Chains A and B, each alone.
Chain A
Amino acid sequence: MLELRLVQGSLLKKVLEAIKDLVNDANFDCSSSGFSLQAMDSSHVALVALLLRSEGFEHYRCDRNMSMGMNLGNMSKMLKCAGNDDIITIKGDDGSDTVTFMFESPTQDKIADFEMKLMDIDSEHLGIPEAEYQAIVTMPSSEFARICKDLSSIGDTVVISVTKEGVKFSTRGDIGTANIVLRQNTTVDKPEDATVIEMNEPVSLTFALRYMNSFTKATSLSNTVKISLSSELPVVVEYKIAEMGYVRFYLAPKIEEDEDENETKPKV
Chain B
Amino acid sequence: MGIKGLTKLLADNAPKAMKEQKFESYFGRKIAIDASMSIYQFLIVVGRSGTEMLTNEAGEVTSHLQGMFNRTIRLLEAGIKPLYVFDGKPPDLKKQELAKRFSKRADATEDLAAAVESGVKEDIEKFSKRTVKVTKQHNDDCKRLLKLMGVPVIEAPSEAEAQCAMLCKSRKVYAVASEDMDSLTFGAPIFLRHLMDPSSRKIPVMEFEIPKILEELNLSMDQFIDLCILSGCDYCDSIRGIGGQTALKLIRQHGSIESILENINKERYQIPEDWPYQEARQLFKEPAVLTDEEQLDIKWTSPDDEGLITFLVNENGFNSDRVMKAIEKIKAAKNKSSQGRLESFFKPVANTSQPVKRKGTKCVLRPPKPAIKHKMLSLQVCNSMPKTIGSLSMLTLNLFPKQSTPSPRGVCFNA
Q: Report chain A residues within 8 Å CB of B22.
A: 42-43
Q: Once the chains are docked, how many angstroms separate the CA of A262 from the CA of B168? A: 11
Interface size on B, residues (CB 8 A): 53
| Stretch of B115-123, B256-264, B265-273, B332-340 that contacts chain A | B332-340
**When the two chains form their complex, are residues A126 and B342 in contact, meaning their CB atoms are under 8 A apart?**
yes
**When the two chains form their complex, are residues B408 and A95 in contact, meaning their CB atoms are under 8 A apart?**
yes
Task: Report the minimum CB–CB distance from A212 to chain B (whole Å).
Answer: 13
Q: Report chain B residues within 8 Å CB of A255.
A: 337-340
**When the two chains form their complex, are residues B347 and A126 in contact, meaning their CB atoms are under 8 A apart?**
yes
Q: Report chain B residues within 8 Å CB of A46.
A: 342
Q: List 27 A-B contacts (CB under 8 A).
A: A1-B405, A43-B24, A44-B342, A47-B346, A66-B354, A66-B355, A66-B356, A67-B351, A67-B353, A67-B355, A68-B355, A92-B356, A95-B408, A98-B370, A120-B355, A125-B349, A126-B349, A127-B348, A129-B346, A250-B342, A252-B345, A253-B340, A254-B337, A254-B338, A264-B344, A266-B174, A266-B209
Q: Of the candidates B24, B173, B343, which one forms a contact with A267 in the assembled complex, judged by CB atoms under 8 Å apart?
A: B343
B341 CB-CB contact with A under 8 Å: yes
- Chain A residue nearest to B338 in the complex (CB): A255
Q: Report chain B residues within 8 Å CB of A124.
A: 348
Task: Report the minimum CB–CB distance from A259 to chain B (whole Å).
Answer: 7
B40 CB-CB contact with A under 8 Å: no
Task: Report the minimum CB–CB distance from B240 to chain A (whole Å).
Answer: 37
- Chain B residue nearest to A256 in the complex (CB): B337
**When the two chains form their complex, are residues A118 and B27 in contact, meaning their CB atoms are under 8 A apart?**
no
Q: Once the chains are docked, how many angstroms separate the CA of A234 from the CA of B339? A: 11
B201 CB-CB contact with A under 8 Å: no
Q: Report chain A residues within 8 Å CB of B300.
A: 259
Q: Report chain A residues within 8 Å CB of B403.
A: 93, 96
**When the two chains form their complex, are residues A97 and B370 in contact, meaning their CB atoms are under 8 A apart?**
yes
A9 CB-CB contact with B under 8 Å: no
B16 CB-CB contact with A under 8 Å: yes
Task: Report the minimum CB–CB distance from A226 to chain B (whole Å).
Answer: 19
B59 CB-CB contact with A under 8 Å: no
B299 CB-CB contact with A under 8 Å: yes
Q: Once the chains are docked, how many angstroms separate the CA of A266 from the CA of B344? A: 10
| Stretch of A12-20, A23-31, A106-114, A188-196 that contacts chain B | A23-31
Task: Report the minimum CB–CB distance from A62 to chain B (whole Å).
Answer: 10
Q: Once the chains are docked, how many angstroms separate the CA of A120 from the CA of B260? A: 37
- Chain A residue nearest to B174 in the complex (CB): A263
Q: Of the candidates A65, A94, A252, A266, which one forms a contact with B407 in the assembled complex, judged by CB atoms under 8 Å apart?
A: A94
Task: Report the minimum CB–CB distance from A267 to chain B (whole Å).
Answer: 6
Proximity string of chain A (30-60) to chain B, C-beta cutoff 8 Å, 1 when within and 0 when not: 1100000000101111110000000000000
Q: Of the candidates B25, B171, B353, B404, which one forms a contact with A31 in the assembled complex, judged by CB atoms under 8 Å apart?
A: B353
A97-B337 contact in complex given A46-B342, A266-B189, C-beta closer than 8 Å: no
Q: Once the chains are docked, how many angstroms separate the CA of A266 from the CA of B368? A: 32
Q: Once the chains are docked, how many angstroms separate the CA of A64 from the CA of B356? A: 10
A127-B342 contact in complex given A118-B357, A120-B355, A262-B172, C-beta closer than 8 Å: no
Q: Report chain A residues within 8 Å CB of B175.
A: 266
Q: Once the chains are docked, how many angstroms separate the CA of A45 from the CA of B24? A: 12
Q: Of the candidates B338, B348, B353, which one forms a contact with A66 in the assembled complex, judged by CB atoms under 8 Å apart?
A: B353
Interface residues of B in 308-343 (CB under 8 A from A): 337-343
In this complex, which of B172, B189, B211, B346 has the most chain A Cβ atoms within 10 angstroms of its Cβ? B346
A263-B172 contact in complex given A43-B22, A44-B25, A97-B374, C-beta closer than 8 Å: yes
Binding site for A on B (CB under 8 A): 16, 22, 24-25, 27, 29-30, 171-175, 189-190, 209, 211, 299-300, 337-359, 368-371, 374, 403-409
A252-B341 contact in complex given A95-B409, A97-B374, A117-B370, C-beta closer than 8 Å: yes
Q: Report chain B residues within 8 Å CB of A126.
A: 342-343, 346-349
Q: Report chain A residues within 8 Å CB of B344.
A: 252, 264
- Chain B residue nearest to A205 in the complex (CB): B340
Q: Report chain A residues within 8 Å CB of B351.
A: 27, 29, 67, 125
Q: Report chain A residues within 8 Å CB of B409.
A: 95
Q: Report chain B residues within 8 Å CB of A94.
A: 356, 405-407
- Chain B residue nearest to A68 in the complex (CB): B356
A122 CB-CB contact with B under 8 Å: yes
**When the two chains form their complex, are residues A208 and B209 in contact, meaning their CB atoms are under 8 A apart?**
no
- Chain B residue nearest to A258 in the complex (CB): B338
In this complex, which of B16, B299, B338, B356 has the most chain A Cβ atoms within 10 angstroms of its Cβ? B356
Q: Once the chains are docked, how many angstroms separate the CA of A157 from the CA of B299? A: 26
A127-B173 contact in complex given A29-B353, A45-B341, A95-B407, C-beta closer than 8 Å: no
Q: Once the chains are docked, how many angstroms separate the CA of A120 from the CA of B368? A: 11
Q: Report chain A residues within 8 Å CB of B340.
A: 45, 234, 252-255
Task: Report the minimum CB–CB distance from B406 to chain A (whole Å).
Answer: 8
Interface residues of A in 56-84 (CB under 8 A from B): 63-69
Q: Of the candidates B337, B341, B350, B352, which one forms a contact with A44 in the assembled complex, judged by CB atoms under 8 Å apart?
A: B341
A10 CB-CB contact with B under 8 Å: no
Q: Once the chains are docked, how many angstroms separate the CA of A14 from the CA of B22? A: 28
A268 CB-CB contact with B under 8 Å: yes
Q: Report chain A residues within 8 Å CB of B27.
A: 43
**When the two chains form their complex, are residues B355 and A69 in contact, meaning their CB atoms are under 8 A apart?**
yes
Interface residues of A in 111-146 (CB under 8 A from B): 115, 117-120, 122, 124-129
Q: Once the chains are docked, how many angstroms separate the CA of A250 from the CA of B129? A: 50
Q: Report chain B residues within 8 Å CB of A93.
A: 356, 403-404
Q: Of the candidates B211, B355, B369, B406, which one forms a contact with A268 in the assembled complex, judged by CB atoms under 8 Å apart?
A: B211
Q: Report chain A residues within 8 Å CB of B355.
A: 27, 66-69, 120
Q: Report chain B residues within 8 Å CB of A44.
A: 25, 341-343
- Chain B residue nearest to A43 in the complex (CB): B25
In this complex, which of B24, B370, B371 has the most chain A Cβ atoms within 10 angstroms of its Cβ? B371
Given contacts A43-B22, A98-B371, A266-B189, 5 further A-B contacts (CB under 8 A): A42-B25, A43-B339, A126-B343, A257-B338, A268-B209
**When the two chains form their complex, are residues B357 and A206 in contact, meaning their CB atoms are under 8 A apart?**
no
